[in-house]
Amino acid sequence: MSLLDGKVALITGGSRGIGAALVRSLTAAGARVAFTYRSSAAPANALVEELGENVKAYQSDAADYAQAEALIKTVVADMGGLHILINNAGVTRDTLMLRMNEEQWDTVMDNNLKSVFNLTKHAMRTMMRGGGSIINMSSIVGIQGNAGQANYAASKAGIIGFSKSIAKEMGSRNVRCNVIAPGFIETDMTDELPEKVREDYLSNIPLKRFGKPEEIANACIFLGSDLSSYITGQVISVDGGLS
């Protein structure tokens, strides 16, 4: 028996990078998986074709409150329930604060933090009826900060405070809420880093390597499964010891 047999999971931002690894890994662990994409239809459709009938893709903007509400209703109707929500969607608009404009701030806050509110708000009522696990994707930057990423750091730190509050509100309803804070993970973005920058980052990581998207997925499988049934309101850093 797989760890997530009988569970339905919804993953936002699931067509590429860490999100796609989440879709593949949770499906392999036995879950039926719904995932969203905003504009990347081709990779989303390819992922569904690769993984088969237990996976469905939905075009939806997590930053839009009404779309989030409609998405939850549709997923529950299509999949027969909702047990795991992984708020993974996010963007960056990096620049120093002296140069940052209002649009760069608002875009990051809407996509990274308001999206978590939107999906959590609409998923809670369904989960209250049978229990559930909400997993919100923060970042080591939300814990430590980073020059040139004040907007991103604020959004990811906000996710931590939000999640701890939801854990306190929803614990009596058997709805758990936890946070994963990835460090440097091998994705398209890290592939584009200059070699000197990569070396500088690696020198500060005790395990001396970047993480793999599948290692983030493994933490999500744990938090989504009954193995973590007494864990809520926690932040799990998956960063090779960096923090």
Complete DSSP assignment for the chain: --TTTT-EEEESS-SSHHHHHHHHHHHHTT-EEEEEESS-HHHHHHHHHHH-TTEEEEE--TT-HHHHHHHHHHHHHHHS---EEEE---------TTT--HHHHHHHHIIIIIHHHHHHHHHHHHHHTT-EEEEEE--HHHHH--TT-HHHHHHHHHHHHHHHHHHHHHGGGTEEEEEEEE-SB-SHHHHTS-HHHHHHHHHT-TT-S-B-HHHHHHHHHHHHSGGGTT--S-EEEESTT--
pLDDT value, residue 190: 76
pLDDT value, residue 153: 98
Please give the share of the chain, as a percent, with pLDDT higher than 90: 93
Q: Is 15 annotated as a binding residue?
A: yes
Given a cut of 90, whether residue 189 has pLDDT beyond it is: no
Q: Which residue has the higher pLDDT, 190 or 218?
A: 218
Q: Which residue has the higher pLDDT, 179 or 1?
A: 179
Dump pLDDT digits (tens) for 131-145. Answer: 999 999 999 999 999
pLDDT value, residue 157: 98
Cβ–Cβ under 8 Å, residues 134 and 125 = no
Please report the sign of the dihedral spanned by the C-alpha atoms of residue 7, residue 73, residue 179, residue 140.
positive
Q: Is residue 37 among the annotated active site residues?
A: no
Give the model's confidence band at 194: pLDDT under 50 very low, under 70 low, under 90 confident, else very high: confident
Given a cut of 80, whether residue 48 has pLDDT beyond it is: yes
pLDDT value, residue 127: 98
pLDDT value, residue 193: 75
Q: Is 147 annotated as a binding residue?
A: no
Q: Which of 32-46, 129-143, 188-202 has the lowest mean pLDDT?
A: 188-202
Q: Is 16 annotated as a binding residue?
A: yes
Q: At what angle do helices 213-224 and 17-28 cross, to 10 degrees?
A: 50
Cβ–Cβ under 8 Å, residues 71 and 60 = yes
151-164 mean pLDDT? 98
Domains of the chain: 8-186+212-235 (3.40.50.720)
Q: Is 52 annotated as a binding residue?
A: no
Residue tagged active-site, from 37, 152, 201, 230: 152
- The sheet that has 175-182: what strands, in order across it? 55-59, 32-37, 8-11, 84-87, 132-137, 175-182, 235-238
The per-residue pLDDT of the chain, averaged, comes to: 96
Q: Is 153 annotated as a binding residue?
A: yes
Give the Å distances, CA to CA, from 93 to 34, 111, 126, 198, 221.
Answer: 27, 11, 34, 20, 29
pLDDT value, residue 40: 86
Give the model's confidence band at 192: pLDDT under 50 very low, under 70 low, under 90 confident, else very high: confident
112-122 mean pLDDT? 98
pLDDT value, residue 50: 97
Cβ–Cβ under 8 Å, residues 219 and 199 = no
Dump pLDDT digits (tens) for 67-107. Answer: 999 999 999 999 999 999 999 999 999 999 999 999 999 99
179-206 mean pLDDT? 89
Q: Is 148 annotated as a binding residue?
A: no
Give the model's confidence band at 188: pLDDT under 50 very low, under 70 low, under 90 confident, else very high: confident
Q: Is 209 annotated as a binding residue?
A: no
